[in-house]
Chain A
C-alpha cells in the first residue's frame, strides 16, 4: 500500500480509497445527491464540537479534500447515533461514511496526534482479537496508558464503586474457539490482499 501524503497532496487518492469502501454500503450512490442542506449538522448531537460539521464532509469529499477531514477531530466526535441518517432528505447514510473514514484514518495513520478515540478503538479491537470478547477493565487500562496515564487515577473512585458491586472483572472472559476466530480473520485478510 502506497503511503498517503496528508494535506491536500493525495486528496484524489483518498477519494478513490473511500469509494472502494463505500460500495459495500447499500444505496451508496445516494452520496451523489447531497444538496448541502445541513440537516445532518443540525441533527447531530456533537456537531458543535467538530472542526468540520457533518455537512462539510460531503463538500470536502467532492472537492477532493478528504485528507482535511481525516486530520480533523470530526470523525472521532461521531457517536453513531444515526440521527443524520434518518433525517437526510437524500437518504445518505452518513454514519456509515463516518465508519469508513475512521477505518481509513486508522489504516493509513491519518489521524491527528493526541486524538483519543483511535486509541480506544484500537485497544478495543486488540482485546477482542485476543479473547473473542471485550474485557472492559483491560480495555480501559490500555486506553488510559495510551492516552493519559494520569487520567487513570481520576477513574479510580468509579472503578472501586464498580468493583465493589462486582461490575468490573479483573480477569478477561475468553471464548473457547479462539482459533476459529483467528482462522476467520486470517481468511478475511487473505481475501482482501487478493
Chain B
C-alpha cells in the first residue's frame, strides 16, 4: 500500500458522489491508499478564477500548503481541481511577485507553501504508478465486447498534457483495454463539454455535448467513460433536453472510469454506486 493525500473536490460531496465512492473502492483494491487531506477547501475552480484569479490561486495555495505538511503526492479525481491546483503550483514557481504575495497571504493563517507538492490526477496514478500488471492481476470479469468511448475532456489534457499529447492522449484507452474493454476511436475525445457554460449558456453548450455524443455513438460506443465529475454530469444529465432539441435519440450511459474499472474487478453497487447514474446503466452492468 502506498499513501497519497487525497483531494476529492466539492463535486465529490454531492453530484459526483459515486465518483468519490468508486474511486476509493478501486484505489483500495489496487494498493493505493487515499488519505483525505484534512479540511481541504475549494480549489478556486474556473468560475472563481474568472472573478479574481489571485484569490482563486490563494484558495489552491492553502490546499497545497496543507498537503505539503503531509509530504505526499496530492491526488484528485476532478479534472478541474487538477488543472487549478497544478496551475497555482506552476505559476508560483514561475513568478516571484505572485509567489511573494501568496506566501504573505498564507502566513496570515500560519501556513507556508514551499513548492514541493506533486499534483496528480487519479487516472495518472492508476496508469503510471500502479500500471498494467497490477490492474490485470485484479481483473475478475473481462469486459469483452464492451465498446467504450474514452473521454478525456480538456483539463487533464491541456494546457500541459499530463499524458503527453494534448489532443490525442491514450492512457484512459490503455487502462480500459487492460480490463478487456474495447475503446473505440473517435475524433472528439479531448473536445470540450462546455463546463460551466451548461448553466450560463445552455444553448451553446448543448450543441457541444450533442457533437460529443454523436461522435461517440457513430464510432459504435455503447457507453462513454470520463475522468471528471463536471464532464460526467454535462454529458449525462442533458441527454433528454438534447434529444428534444436536436431530434436525436441519445441514451448513452456515462460512467466514471473508476466505475468501469470496479465492474471489471467484480465490485458491485455498494462500491460503485451505479444507481446514482441518470442514464440506463443496468443493461451494461448486468452483462458482466
Query: Which chain A residues lie closer than 8 Å to B59 at the CB level?
Result: 128, 181
- Contact partner, A124, options B18, B48, B109, Cβ 8 Å: B48
Query: Which chain B residues lie closer than 8 Å to A187 at the CB level?
Result: 104-105, 107-108
Cβ-based interface call for A77 (8 A)? yes
**A177 B109 Cβ-Cβ under 8 A:** yes
Query: Which chain B residues lie closer than 8 Å to A175 at the CB level?
Result: 39-41
Q: Chain A 151-184 against B: per-residue CB contact (8 Å), 1 yes, 0 no?
A: 0000000100110011111000101110011011
Query: Which chain B residues lie closer than 8 Å to A100 at the CB level?
Result: 53
Cβ-based interface call for B133 (8 A)? no
Cβ-based interface call for B167 (8 A)? yes
Q: State the interface size on chain A (CB cutoff 8 A).
A: 64
Query: Which chain A residues lie closer than 8 Å to B192 at the CB level?
Result: 45-46, 79, 81, 83
**A185 B55 Cβ-Cβ under 8 A:** yes
Bound-complex Cα distance A100 to B14 (A): 30
Bound-complex Cα distance A80 to B125 (A): 24
- Contact partner, B275, options A25, A46, A165, Cβ 8 Å: A165
**A95 B47 Cβ-Cβ under 8 A:** no
**B109 A77 Cβ-Cβ under 8 A:** no
Cβ-based interface call for B72 (8 A)? no
Cβ-based interface call for B77 (8 A)? no
Cβ-based interface call for B97 (8 A)? yes
- Contact partner, B41, options A93, A124, A162, A181, Cβ 8 Å: A181
**B108 A183 Cβ-Cβ under 8 A:** yes
Cβ distance A18 to chain B, nearest Cβ, rounded Å: 13
Query: Which chain A residues lie closer than 8 Å to B194 at the CB level?
Result: 45-46, 79
Query: Which chain A residues lie closer than 8 Å to B199 at the CB level?
Result: 120, 140, 143
**A124 B105 Cβ-Cβ under 8 A:** no
Cβ-based interface call for B254 (8 A)? no
The residues in A between 107 and 147 inclusive whose CB is less than 8 angstroms from any CB of B are: 107, 116-122, 124-125, 128, 132-134, 136-137, 140, 143
**A133 B47 Cβ-Cβ under 8 A:** no
**A46 B204 Cβ-Cβ under 8 A:** yes
**A191 B101 Cβ-Cβ under 8 A:** yes
* Most chain B CB within a 10 A radius of its CB, from A77, A121, A166: A121
Query: Which chain A residues lie closer than 8 Å to B111 at the CB level?
Result: 180, 184
Report the nearest B residue to A132, measured CB to CB.
B41
Assuming the A-B contacts A79-B192, A117-B200, A187-B104, are A192 and B95 also in contact, with contact meaning beta carbons closer than 8 angstroms in the complex?
no
Bound-complex Cα distance A81 to B196 (A): 11
Top 8 nearest A-B pairs by Cβ distance?
A: A82-B158, A81-B192, A124-B47, A180-B109, A134-B10, A187-B108, A81-B154, A26-B94
